[in-house]
């Protein structure tokens, strides 16, 4: 059985990352196959409950108010629209719904009260509910947990060293504090990053070190390929190589063996063969549904055809327990 470690060094992670590609995939696939459910893929569907107009300056993000990206700015969505979207996602095979808001942080106001009602409503559809709302205090995390929130997504995005190049309106430590608050409230932690921001390989390794040295590994780690959006400072970044995606996924799988690794943004640019490589390298989750938050994503039907072809099956909701009783990732799956 693979040992779960929390003391990976940058040197060790770099050595894994730079392993010849086929050996790396073989090693990651071997670890993945120790998990009896390796052919199951967890499907999350995203919904943007509050779009655009964000005060932050994240260089990759189409929803930052300061960039002209043509995104349709929307106030918070009514609860019945969220429920309709959740039902559609469930019918498409999704076991998790992730509600995203273009906020720097949550404020204790009527919009947050509405999110709490949405969490309760989606939970009652027997779906795992996730939110990504920006920074949270301890009491806000607890309120979400009490409403039945299953998971919270809060990405580190890049390394601590590279953070200021990408975002100047908040610090890495603030990001880590929110992760602590989420953990303390016993909500499942989802935290990963983006590649293709112009970061170095050392930055990727540093981010993976931070994630794998947390007191507990995140239950999910999304690996996003930058979706370059016109109007953002990173609009002209070249498309990230699929081999970099494979290396990142395989390294994540090896150093966090029990974690769900999500092949996240960037799939519209990838062929089925390229995605199959990512699943082989240990990815066991995707975002499904025509849209991510504001950019396109493959449709449920396209993904189901891919699952049939590759012999993958969607994972059922609540496999690791109900909200507040999520099994720790150290427990063998
Ligand atoms: N505002 C909240 C926050 O920043 O945590 C939640 C929503 S924010 C859009 C969620 C995540 O989406 C970001 O942390 C980033 O990882 C990802 N993201 C945003 N724009 C992206 C892009 N163009 N390409 C890839 N990932 C992106
Ligand atoms: C994550 O890691 N990726 C998702 C989700 N968590 C919130 C978001 C991707 C967004 C891609 C750009 C867009 O659609 O706006
Ligand atoms: Fe705002 Fe989140 Fe986009 Fe940053 S990533 S600009 S915090 S919506």
Atom of ligand 3 nearest to the CA of 101: 8
Residue range 11-37: mean pLDDT, rounded: 95
Q: Which of 198, 108, 187 is nearest to 158 (CA)?
A: 198
Spatial separation of the C-alpha atoms in residues 21 and 169, rounded to whole Å? 37
CA of 2 to the centre of ligand 2 (A): 31
Spatial separation of the C-alpha atoms in residues 259 and 164, rounded to whole Å? 28
CB of 58 closer than 6 angstroms to any ligand 3 atom: yes
Segments in 124-225 forming alpha helices (H): 138-146, 163-166, 172-184, 201-212
Burial (0-12, 13-18, 19+ Cβ within 10 Å), 79: middle
pLDDT of 131 > 60? The answer is yes
pLDDT of 229 > 60? The answer is yes
Give residue 316's pLDDT. 84
Tens of pLDDT, residues 242-288:
999 999 999 999 999 999 999 999 999 999 999 999 999 999 999 99
> Could you confirm whether 131 is annotated as catalytic?
no
Output the six-digit token pair for 158.
Answer: 């890049």
Q: Where are the domains of the chain?
A: 10-312
Residue range 117-131: mean pLDDT, rounded: 95
Per the CB < 8 A criterion, the answer to whether 246 and 21 are in contact is yes
Spatial separation of the C-alpha atoms in residues 323 and 18, rounded to whole Å? 38
Spatial separation of the C-alpha atoms in residues 136 and 112, rounded to whole Å? 11
Give residue 333's pLDDT. 31
Spatial separation of the C-alpha atoms in residues 224 and 210, rounded to whole Å? 17
Report the share of the chain in percent with pLDDT over 70: 96
> 189: which residues sit within 8 A by CB, 6+ positions away?
151, 152, 154, 179, 182, 183, 214, 216, 218, 219, 220
Residue range 159-185: mean pLDDT, rounded: 98
Torsion angle of the four alpha carbons 15, 211, 292, 146, in this order, in degrees rounded to the nearest 10: 160
Active-site option among 54, 96, 143, 267? 54
10-312 maps to which CATH number? Answer: 3.20.20.70
């Amino acid at each position: 059985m693979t040992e779960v470690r929390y003391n990976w060094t940058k040197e060790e992670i770099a050595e894994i990352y730079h392993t010849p590609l086929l050996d790396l995939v073989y090693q990651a696939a071997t670890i993945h196959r120790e998990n009896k459910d390796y052919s199951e893929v967890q499907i999350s569907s995203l919904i943007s409950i509050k779009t655009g107009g964000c005060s932050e300056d994240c260089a990759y993000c189409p929803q930052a108010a300061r960039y002209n990206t043509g995104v349709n700015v929307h106030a918070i969505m009514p609860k019945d629209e969220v429920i309709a979207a959740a039902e559609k996602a469930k019918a498409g095979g999704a076991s998790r719904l992730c509600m995203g808001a273009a906020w720097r942080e949550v404020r204790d106001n009527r919009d947050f009260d509405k999110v709490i009602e949405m969490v309760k409503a989606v939970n009652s559809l027997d779906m795992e509910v996730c939110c990504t709302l920006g920074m949270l205090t301890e009491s806000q995390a607890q309120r979400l947990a009490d409403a039945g929130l299953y998971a919270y997504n809060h990405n580190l995005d890049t390394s601590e060293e590279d953070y200021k190049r990408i975002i100047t309106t908040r610090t890495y430590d603030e990001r880590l504090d929110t992760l602590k608050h989420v953990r303390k409230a016993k909500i499942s932690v989802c935290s990963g990053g983006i590649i293709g921001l112009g970061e170095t390989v050392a930055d990727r390794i540093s981010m993976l070190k931070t994630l794998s040295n947390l007191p507990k590994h995140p239950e999910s780690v999304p690996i996003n390929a930058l979706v370059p959006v016109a109007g953002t400072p990173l609009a002209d970044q070249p498309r990230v190589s699929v081999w970099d995606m494979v290396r990142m996924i395989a390294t994540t799988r090896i150093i966090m063996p029990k974690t769900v690794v999500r092949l996240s943004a960037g799939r519209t640019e990838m062929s089925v063969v390229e995605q199959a490589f990512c699943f082989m390298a240990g990815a066991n989750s995707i975002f499904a549904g025509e849209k991510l938050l504001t950019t396109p994503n493959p449709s449920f039907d396209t993904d189901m055809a891919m699952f049939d072809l590759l012999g993958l099956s969607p994972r059922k909701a609540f496999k690791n327990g109900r909200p507040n009783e999520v099994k720790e990732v150290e427990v063998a799956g």
